[in-house]
DNA sequence: CGAACGTTTGAGATGACTCAAGCGTTGTGG
DNA sequence: CCACAACGCTTGAGTCATCTCAAACGTTCG
């Protein structure tokens, strides 16, 4: 089922079977896209939204010199641009980081789905607000943490999000992004990210090599990154680590 | 009218007169709050949302040492926590920066409003997504800009947002926040913010003194901050400055 | 085998931070 | 009405995290 991962393990907003079937039926197309392609440009009018099935996509804002700041990374099971449904026009670019498989849902179909189903509308609304919550965590990460903390926080977030859709076992997952991508996400340079990754390895917190993240000490990594997963609104939180006392 | 400023000058989502009246009727209480009070603590369950009528409020996340990162500043006319309507529980704190006047809208009343009015629901949804768009701009600001750029971007944003609700004439407005608040918003220290403000004055871009911002060169300030107001989804954009070429 | 790309390392530069002190304004109570 | 406390702003000097520039290395793929 294509929509299987959507809102998987999110607290209190599971789709009903009927809703999931309806959403599934609203998909008009499934496509694959190569890595590193721009999919939507800022300012473009859109009338469909994109559910990411496989791969990683990014949302980013370019500065005047063309340097990009990632503002979100989407993982399988997430809508990349459901916020385009109410907004129609995006304030940022969307592109693939890896080869991706996506499902297309026309906005007209979404309108039909929620027309007579307010609870469903609220769930879709909620899902766009989880993105907003992640944005806030990113602001915190970049604004308050040092380089090691930022990367630790980022990897902790990815671990939790991927765990929710069964793409991480809680300490080991595939993350096919480059150190330069990580730098663009964390507001650092790729050179410095490289040194930070070495530090995390030397601290025996985690290893990131060959597109693979291996977390050696989850509690330690989360503590170093000041990470608390509550903003992800996940079910069955299994991360007591984050509640521990200050360093 | 209490809701007068809500969604004022936002492109394509003006409330109808009937909707505005209904929203107005949904207000059960109007309160004033002192400056520097915490209003909602992270994790708290809420079943009302807060429309800010006067003053400035902030949303913030504390790190383990208690240092705060502002993730949003709300100005009059904005809902501070409408996202609590679908989410019920917030992932951040909410507090006042200045003395404030607020209107309380119970979630039950919101449900009643949108039950049989999908377009209205979409407008409320949209308004929470403008917050998300601002979050993204904040990520960009903190992640990609240097200190002078961050403050320039921040002040440009405030100018536009306040202009939309007639609290700025486009170059001159009251901003009752301290340099320390500005630092917490921009991921800087208050000492450095102070030096940055001096630089902006010396560059003859803008003056921030005694809770008053006076923009001397709007185009220049926006250029220095890499600011483009399109993410605010405002009507009648009067800021061609942002479209100019690279420095 | 060479080109392209991502990673790694080194050396030096710099923007922002920390610590510390002084200044100015406001409000309050003796 | 003055004195002082509280708070926010300003400035200086020294430190440090991260950046920049540059080069080398490893891997993949055609």
Output the six-digit token pair for B126: 């949209």
CA distance B164 to chain A (A): 18
- Residue ranges with strand state E in chain B: 29-33, 38-40, 48-54, 57-62, 68-74, 93-96, 100-106, 172-174, 206-209, 212-215
Q: Whole-number mean pLDDT of chain A?
A: 93
If contacts are CB pairs under 8 Å, which of residues 85-104 in chain B contact chain A? 86-88, 91-92
Q: What percent of chain B has pLDDT over 70?
A: 95
Helix (H) / strand (E) element for A105: namely strand A100-106
What integer pLDDT is reported at residue A194 of this predicted model? 98
Instruction: Summarize pLDDT for A90-133 with one digit per residue, the tens.
Output: 999 999 999 999 999 999 999 999 998 999 999 999 999 999 99
Which residue of chain A comes nearest to B67, CA vs CA?
A144
Instruction: Summarize pLDDT for A238-247 with one digit per residue, the tens.
Output: 433 333 443 3
What integer pLDDT is reported at residue B239 of this predicted model? 38
Other beta carbons less than 10 A from residue A207's beta carbon? 16
If contacts are CB pairs under 8 Å, which of residues 213-232 in chain A contact chain B? 226, 230-231
Report d(CA A72, CA A83) in Å as an integer.
13
Report d(CA A60, CA B144) in Å as an integer.
11
Cβ of A122 within 8 Å of Cβ of B88? The answer is no
A223 contacts A247 by C-beta, under 8 angstroms? yes
pTM of this structure:
0.94
Task: State the alpha helices, DSSP H only, in A165-242.
Answer: 179-186, 190-202, 218-224
Cα dist from B85 to A122, A148, B3, whole Å: 9, 35, 18
Output the six-digit token pair for A43: 């300012």
Residue located via tokens 């994790």: B43
pLDDT band at residue B12 under the 50/70/90 scheme:
confident
Instruction: Summarize pLDDT for A22-68 with one digit per residue, the tens.
Output: 999 999 999 999 999 999 999 999 999 999 999 999 999 999 988 99
Rg over CA atoms, chain A:
18
Q: Could you please report the per-residue DSSP string of B142-163?
A: HHH--HHHHHHHHHHHHHHHHH
Residue from A60, A69, A80, A86 whose CB has the most chain B CBs within 10 Å, to mutate: A86
Instruction: Summarize pLDDT for B228-245 with one digit per residue, the tens.
Output: 999 999 986 543 333 343
Instruction: Summarize pLDDT for A169-189 with one digit per residue, the tens.
Output: 999 999 999 999 999 999 999
């Amino acid at each position: 089922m294509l929509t299987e991962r959507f809102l998987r393990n999110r607290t209190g907003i599971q789709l009903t079977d009927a809703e999931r079937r309806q959403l599934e039926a609203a998909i008009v197309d499934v496509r694959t896209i190569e890595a590193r392609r721009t999919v939507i440009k800022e300012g473009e009018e859109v009338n469909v939204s994109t559910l990411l099935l496989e791969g990683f996509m990014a949302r980013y804002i370019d500065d005047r010199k063309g340097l990009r700041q990632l503002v979100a990374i989407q993982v399988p099971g997430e809508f990349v641009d459901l916020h385009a449904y109410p907004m129609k026009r995006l304030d940022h670019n969307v592109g693939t980081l890896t080869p991706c498989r996506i499902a297309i849902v026309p906005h007209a179909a979404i309108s039909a789905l929620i027309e007579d189903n307010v609870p469903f509308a609220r769930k879709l609304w909620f899902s766009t607000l989880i993105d907003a919550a992640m944005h806030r965590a990113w602001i915190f990460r970049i604004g308050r943490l040092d380089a090691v903390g930022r990367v630790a926080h980022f990897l902790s977030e990815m671990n939790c999000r991927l765990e929710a859709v069964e793409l991480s076992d809680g300490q080991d997952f595939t993350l096919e992004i480059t150190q330069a991508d990580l730098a663009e996400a964390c507001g650092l340079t790729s050179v410095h990210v490289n040194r930070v990754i070495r530090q995390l390895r030397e601290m025996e917190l985690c290893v990131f090599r060959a597109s693979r993240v291996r977390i050696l000490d989850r509690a330690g990594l989360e503590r170093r990154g000041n990470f608390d997963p509550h903003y992800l609104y996940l079910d069955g939180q299994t991360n007591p680590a984050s509640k521990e006392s200050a360093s």
